A and B are shown apart, each in its own frame.
Chain A
Amino acid sequence: MFEATERNRRNRKVEGLFRLLFLWMTCMLILPVALILGVLIVRGGPAISWEFLFTRPIDNMTAGGILPALVGTVWLVVVALIASVPVGVAAALYLSEYAPDNRLTRAINLAIINLAGVPSIVHALFGLGAFVIFFRFGTSILAASLTLAIMTLPVVIVATRESLQTVPLAFREACWNMGATRWQTIRKVVLPNSVSGILTGVILEVSRTAGETAPIMFTGAAVFMPFLPQGVLDQTMAMSLHLFVISTQVPDVPEHMPFGVALVLISLVLAMNGLSIAFRVYLRGRKKW
């Protein structure tokens, strides 16, 4: 009575075929990237040495190392973080802990989606018009970092909001019932329980910020600087722009150099992302509620 019919068999076969098709499609998205990483490692690997990482470029950037670009990227990322993390966390706190379901909240959410969706080159134009020209920061680390900060703000907001919302409502209610104010509840209960999730978002932002090129091209990144930046009003070299410059603008660059820069940049970014993901997995395993 419950024997498989011809139709069952056919259905199972079709099901298997579809399963394979979708698996193949997934692999087609991931495999090229694995291949590309392989090529970058094979062709860029030999370029990398202590000397490459920690000396300055010489001979019109056709030889020497990438120190000023590495240091410059660190400057840009740190200043951008200082500017965006407090604002991003505040925005996430508002959306998660205070915001009623009204038009204003919807407008804020829409603005966040658009901040993430506006092309990076438009952010660059904004940075140039606002920070470099209007606020007279000149082309400087400050102008470039503020541009990056605004561009990556949605990363912090979204990660923080998600992390805040994993704290159960009962925790807050218990605290309110003790007579605590809303802020005391946030400060003593909500934030301590979500700070590691916020950190995950911050690491993710570091990775985004380090890789961006277009927003810093006209706001503070220089093609070549013989010295390291001394303060936030200096221009600086950056890894991402350096890769663009030596692979398109400078003649006679030995082939291994741009591959080396690309490898360092992508390792930096993927390491940050890996850290963020590992952190998230660890947190999920540790969660007690």
Chain B
Amino acid sequence: MTHAADRRDLAWWIDRTMQVLVLAGGLSAIVFIAGIFLFITREGAGFVFDRFDFREFFFSPRWTPTSNHNPTYGALALIAGTASVTGLAMVVSVPFSLGAAIYIGEFATGRVRETLKVLVELLAAIPSVVWGFIGLSIMNPLIIQVFDVPVGLNVLNSGIILGLMAAPIMTTIAEDALKAVPDGYREAAEAMGATRWQVTFKVVLPAARNGLVAATLLGVGRGFGETMAVLMASGHSVNLPTSPFDSVRALTATIAAELGETAAGSDHYQALFTLGIFLFIVTFAINLAADVFVRGGRRKYRRRGRRPAASANP
């Protein structure tokens, strides 16, 4: 009686080992994201459990952690700072990014299209500290001159900078969403005599709606988490803004500016980690929502009989 050939030779063992190693690589992403949450919680836990006052944190605009007799940790002004800058950035950036995505995806062809895509990609490459420096040294005097205000480091300045920074990711994701709309949709509309912009507005944009929402969400996430540019261009004063010319301070910028001056383990230090936990949770929620929207969009086409993407798995 012959045995089945024993396949456990050297190649088999190498194959097994590599499979485990490669799986470990894949799992590392989960380990890291969990690690981030665990370690910032570990450092901020003392504040969260002992000192954290929900009403003060979310509803008091008084952030005075360095006060000797009565330090307060109200994050409202910081949240308002982040929200106002991100909000203005989105107002500036969403129409232009979606417009650019429509031009690149639906109108431009061939070489023009490739060139524009490369330029948008290069836009994304500019480091945030350089953007901050641009806000400080170019936008600041420009705003003072044009609007005749005493200080040019304000919501307007950082909003514009942040808008330009968030534009590439929104353009790229939005263009992907447009590309995911099956050509059959376009052809059907064109066969009925629709012009290009009619096809775009009546067919492609509604069909790509989920992806466009995802693109906007990712832009918001980007603006929410941006640190150096906002630190340098927003004026950095704790303030509930009432106009675009007010200086504000963002959550991220507060951590960046103050962490270096705190003693490890102090209330102030732990409060800054608590801001970090808040930032982590909010951006996690935004990314999760964006992912749900992207997936929702994809599933829709698949249900309607689009051939699923070729799988690399046998």
The residue among B18, B26, B122 with the most chain A CB atoms within 10 A of its own CB is B26
Known A-B contacts A119-B283, A130-B35, A218-B259; the reply to A15 vs B127 at CB < 8 A is no
- Closest B residue to A259 by beta carbon equals B137
| A71 close to B (CB within 8 Å) | no
Bound state CA distance, A14 and B99, in angstroms? 16
A227 beta carbon closer than 8 Å to chain B: no
B43 and A129 form a contact (CB under 8 A) = yes
Taking the nearest CB of chain B, how far is it from the CB of A134, in angstroms?
7
Instruction: Let me know if B137 and A113 touch, CB within 8 A.
Output: no
Give the distance to chain A from B201, nearest Cβ to Cβ, in Å: 8
Binds B, one of A45-53, A60-68, A229-237, A242-250: A242-250
Jot down 9 A-B pairs with beta carbons below 8 A, ordered by A: A29-B96, A29-B167, A120-B228, A121-B252, A122-B36, A213-B127, A217-B256, A218-B260, A240-B129
Interface membership of B19, Cβ < 8 A: yes
Inter-chain CA distance A133–B263, complex, in Å, is 13
Q: Which residues of B contact A274 (CB under 8 A)?
A: 122
Q: Is A217 within 8 A of B260, CB to CB?
A: yes
Chain A contact residues: over half helix, strand or loop, or mixed? helix
**B58-66, B70-78, B100-108, B183-191: which lies at the interface:** B100-108
- Chain A residues whose C-beta falls within 8 Å of the C-beta of B11 in the assembled complex: 181, 183-184
A111 within 8 Å of B (CB atoms)? yes
Of the candidates A92, A98, A210, the one having the most CB atoms from chain B within 10 angstroms of its own CB is A98
Q: Which are the 7 A-B pairs with shortest beta-carbon distances?
A: A90-B25, A211-B127, A119-B225, A25-B99, A94-B26, A22-B103, A181-B15
* Residue interface mask A162-181, B partner, CB < 8 A = 1: 00110001001100100001
Q: In the complex, which of the residues B29, B95, B97 contacts A112, with contact meaning CB atoms closer than 8 Å?
A: B29
> Closest CB-CB distance, B138 to chain A, in whole Å?
6
Q: Which residues from B are CB-within-8-Å of A110?
A: 287-288, 291
A118-B96 in contact (CB<8A): no
CB contact under 8 A between A114 and B252, given known A120-B128, A173-B314: no
**Which of B39, B107, B119 is A23 in contact with, Cβ under 8 Å?**
B107
Do A87 and B25 form a contact, CB below 8 Å, given A25-B95, A121-B255? Answer: yes
Given A243-B130, A266-B126: A117 touches B14 (CB 8 Å cut-off): no
Q: Within the complex, which residue of B32, B97, B291 is in contact with A115, where a contact is CB–CB below 8 Å?
A: B32
Q: State whether A123 and B36 are in contact (beta carbons under 8 Å apart), knowing that A169-B312, A173-B314, A248-B232 are contacts in the complex.
A: yes
Q: Tell me the B residues contacting A by CB distance below 8 Å.
A: 11-12, 14-15, 18-19, 21-30, 32-33, 35-36, 39-40, 42-43, 95-97, 99-100, 102-104, 107, 116, 118-123, 125-130, 132-134, 136-138, 164, 167, 171, 195-198, 200, 218, 221-222, 224-228, 232, 252, 255-256, 259-260, 264, 272-273, 276, 279-280, 283-284, 286-288, 290-291, 310-314
Say yes or no: A126 contacts B312, CB within 8 Å.
no
Q: What is the CA–CA distance of A122 and B35 in the complex, to the nearest angstrom?
A: 12
Q: Are A258 and B133 in contact (CB under 8 A)?
A: yes
A265 at the interface (CB under 8 A from B): yes
A259 to B314 CA separation, bound complex (whole angstroms): 54
Cβ < 8 Å to B, chain A residues 71-130: 86-101, 105, 107-108, 110-115, 117-126, 128-130
Is B164's CB under 8 angstroms from A32's CB? Answer: yes
Q: A95, B19: Cβ atoms under 8 Å?
A: no
How many residues belonging to A are interface residues under a CB distance threshold of 8 Å? 99
Query: Is residue A1 within 8 Å, beta carbon to beta carbon, of the partner chain?
Result: no
User: Smallest distance from the beta carbon of B101 to chain A beta carbons, Å?
Assistant: 9
Q: Does A148 contact B (CB under 8 A)?
A: no
A97 touches B312 (CB 8 A): yes
State the main secondary structure of chain B at its contact with A: helix
How far, in whole Å, are A149 and B165 apart by their CA atoms in the complex? 22
Closest chain B residue to A247, Cβ basis: B133
User: CA–CA, A157 to B198, complex, Å?
Assistant: 38
- Min CB distance B271 to A, Å, is 12
- With A100-B313, A122-B40, A214-B228 in contact, do A22 and B100 touch (Cβ < 8 Å)? yes
A residues touching B (Cβ–Cβ < 8 Å)?
Answer: 11-12, 14-15, 18-19, 21-23, 25-26, 28-30, 32-33, 36, 39, 86-101, 105, 107-108, 110-115, 117-126, 128-130, 133-134, 150, 153-154, 157, 164-165, 169, 172-173, 176, 181-184, 186, 207-208, 210-214, 217-218, 240-241, 243-244, 247-248, 258-259, 262, 265-266, 269-270, 272-274, 277
In contact, B259 and A108 (Cβ under 8 angstroms)? no
Q: Is the CB of B125 within 8 A of A270?
A: yes
Contact call A266/B127, Cβ cutoff below 8 A: yes
Q: In angstroms, how far is the closest chain B Cβ from the Cβ of A78?
A: 18
Q: In the complex, A12→B120 CA distance in Å? A: 29
CA–CA, A128 and B100, complex, Å: 39
CA A288 to CA B19, docked complex, whole Å: 29
Residues B39 and A126 in contact, CB atoms below 8 Å apart:
yes
- A196 CB, min distance to chain B CBs, angstroms: 18
Q: Which of B39, B121, B218 contacts A129 (CB 8 A)?
A: B39
